[in-house]
Chains A and B, each alone.
Chain A
Amino acid sequence: MASLLGRFCRKLVVPGSAHGSRMISTTACDSEAVKSLNLYSAINQALHIALETDPRSYVFGEDVGFGGVFRCTTGLAERFGKNRVFNTPLCEQGIVGFGIGLAAMGNRAVVEIQFADYIYPAFDQIVNEAAKFRYRSGNQFNCGGLTIRAPYGAVGHGGHYHSQSPEAFFCHVPGIKVVIPRSPREAKGLLLSSIRDPNPVVFFEPKWLYRQAVEEVPEHDYMIPLSQAEVIREGNDITLVGWGAQLTVMEQACLDAEKVLDFIFQLKDNWFKVSNMGLELIMQEGISCELIDLKTLLPWDKETVEASVKKTGRLLISHEAPVTGGFGAEISATILERCFLKLEAPVSRVCGLDTPFPLVFEPFYMPTKNKASSSSSLSSPLKKKRHYLIMGLHVWCRYWMQSSPLLITSHSICFFR
């Protein structure tokens, strides 16, 4: 059937969103001054505000003095002095351990790990020390002022050690929070919330968006609450859940799914045109997608996702990290527990492959919009009774008017999708 369609159909070219379009945060835009900023500038602004408002806050890490390799810390050392913003030796376990100690004395330590791929030497400090500090001391001590910032995610040419997404490892550790922003406005608000949160937070920044994402960011001090997911795009047919840079890809997949059906017929016979109207009715039944940004992965907002899946009946989760043991598995298991009877199809995970992050094979590894679109959940939401009704009418009309092969083809399109 696919080959038959291939001969008769041609993809309709729809001027969709250009590659590189970014999502606009849907948090309300108030009348305060806004400025068009990219992600690293928004984070820079957040750090300036954090250091300004709390005199006992510090920023340190490798090379942060001159601004950092991604320029997130520009101007901080000049403005706040070398005693508050300083470079550390090249030792991640030392950096985080030092930060824990500083936070234990009631300060706010904003630690930078240069790439998330290098966070593993500090893993012991984060898991065994930071996460358990309050717990093991019976709340006598805590290191809540600790915030660890690290750029994560694919960037096109990063290879094994500059592209990893290690969020899943940290989501397995009770005692810390894991936060991932999707855009400049979100990043500033979430970073300020993370710094001021009385728990240690690991804040992953999508490095791909550092310069690519530009958005109107309010200049004042604002915070976005943690552990609250946001529904970026309303829909009825399927719920898509993601975080960080992956949301851009998923939005493209949503647009693809929602647009006018991408097949038109090349048949030259006139009688084809008569039944066009019926065909168009079917064509316009695109798939309406609900897109959710989790923002905080640990502890994550189960209620929002649950409510959405109960409405739509389908779930697709997408992240860059390898699929086995990725955070999508946790979301899938929880939603299955809570929404089993409402689910129309298995939960779908469109994620990276189970390999180390490749260099040359990166285009094959990444969960692209095409992989999301062709995933089983997105390509066949046939539960709608409307669909069947229209198809039924069509079948009846054409049969009565001596049905043409066209009918069968249009009928199959719906099933194909």
Chain B
Amino acid sequence: ISDDSSFYGGHGIVGAQVPLGCGIAFAQKYAKEEAVTFAMYGDGAANQGQLFEYICLWDLPSILVCENNHYGMGTADWRAAKSPSYYKRGDYVPGLKVDGMDAFAVKQACKLAKEHALKNGPIILEMDTYRYHGHSMSDPVGAHTFTRDDISGVRQERDPIERIKKLVLSHDLATEKELKDFFINLNIDMEKEIRKEIDDAIAKAKDCPMPEPSELFTNVYVKGFGTESFGADRKEVKAALP
């Protein structure tokens, strides 16, 4: 979650974030900012009840992006919805189905969507993607119908990074060796950088003093609302009312 990059973070109930995104889009439209809101959800969450009413009524500059990896947790999309064409779900809201594994296609689609949203109103983008692993520890790879062969097949054919690599090679922008070296160096550099960042963070965390007991209540309400807990069992709570 980050304020400067306008990323409003993840949510508990999947699908809960879409009306939220529409609220943000409303605020943007009201303030006449030339900005759009991308509200992302998955094919599973597409079945939560809150999705479509809010985007349509007021022609908000919001773009709903459905990342369709064909599995909502452990349930296949054709088992979860009568119409797995998620881009058509908006009824009178136009929708576009995009190959989510192609980076250029995604970029073009987003560009188109932004133009459309600012001029005409909401649009739905369905990104067709693939999920290599299970949803959680309880959802093993074998639980859905794809076998390991399928997975490696997809990795070769449709994997975004592999695809760009093939494009680069076929247009003679670089040789195989150059790419390989580039990737190896990139990996090493990136890995070094990441490792350093993690080590720094761990060292910083270990050196930091224990937080104040009042930290437990920070950000429950507006900071400085004055909730404190004290007592051996931290049971006694005092809150300063405004």
Instruction: Give A208 Cβ to nearest chain B Cβ, in Å.
Output: 15
Q: Mark B198-242, 1 if CB is under 8 A from A, else 0.
A: 000000000000000001110010000001010011110100000
Q: Are A90 and B14 in contact (CB under 8 A)?
A: yes
Q: Which residues of B contact A356 (CB under 8 A)?
A: 220
Q: Which of the residues A87, A118, A351 comes within 8 Å of B12, measured between beta carbons?
A: A118
Whether the pair B80, A161 counts as a contact (CB closer than 8 A) is no
Q: How far, in angstroms, from A343 to B206 measured CA to CA in the complex?
A: 47
Say yes or no for A89: interface residue by CB 8 A criterion.
Answer: yes
Query: Is A66 a contact partner of B143 (Cβ separation < 8 A)?
Result: yes
With A69-B139, A70-B138, A365-B216 known as contacts, the answer to whether A374 contacts B232 (CB < 8 A) is yes
Of B67-75, B98-106, B107-115, B171-179, the one with at least 4 CB within 8 A of chain A? B67-75
> Are A120 and B13 in contact, with the CB atoms below 8 A?
yes
B28 CB–A CB distance under 8 Å: no
Chain A residues with CB under 8 Å of B215's CB are: 361
Residue among B72, B143, B229, B235 with the most chain A CB within 10 A? Answer: B235
Nearest chain B residue, comparing its CB with the CB of A97: B49
Which residues from chain A sit less than 8 Å from chain B, CB to CB? Answer: 62-63, 65-66, 69-71, 87-94, 117-118, 120-121, 160-161, 323, 349-351, 353-356, 358, 361, 364-365, 370-372, 374-375
Residue of A whose beta carbon sits closest to that of B50: A121
- 11 inter-chain pairs at a CB distance below 8 angstroms, sorted by A residue, are A65-B74, A65-B75, A69-B73, A69-B136, A70-B138, A87-B79, A91-B49, A121-B13, A323-B237, A354-B220, A354-B237
**A371 is contacted by which of B143, B217, B220, B233 (Cβ under 8 Å)?**
B233
List B contacts of A160 (CB < 8 A).
Answer: 12
B184 near A: Cβ within 8 Å?
Answer: no
The list of the 3 closest CB pairs from A to B, nearest first, reads A89-B47, A371-B233, A161-B12
Q: How far is the CA of A156 from the CA of B12 in the complex (A)?
A: 18
Closest-by-CB residue of A relative to B11 is A161
Contact B75 A63 (CB under 8 A): yes
Taken together as a complex, chains A and B put the C-alpha atoms of A62 and B71 apart, in Å, by 12
Q: Could you tell me if B12 and A353 are in contact, using CB atoms closer than 8 angstroms?
A: no
| Structural contact, B44 and A353, CB atoms closer than 8 A | no
A353 touches B13 (CB 8 A): no
Closest chain B residue, CB of each to CB of A364 = B216
Q: Is the CB of B216 within 8 A of A90?
A: no
Task: From A89, A353, A355, give the contact of B80 (CB < 8 A).
Answer: A89
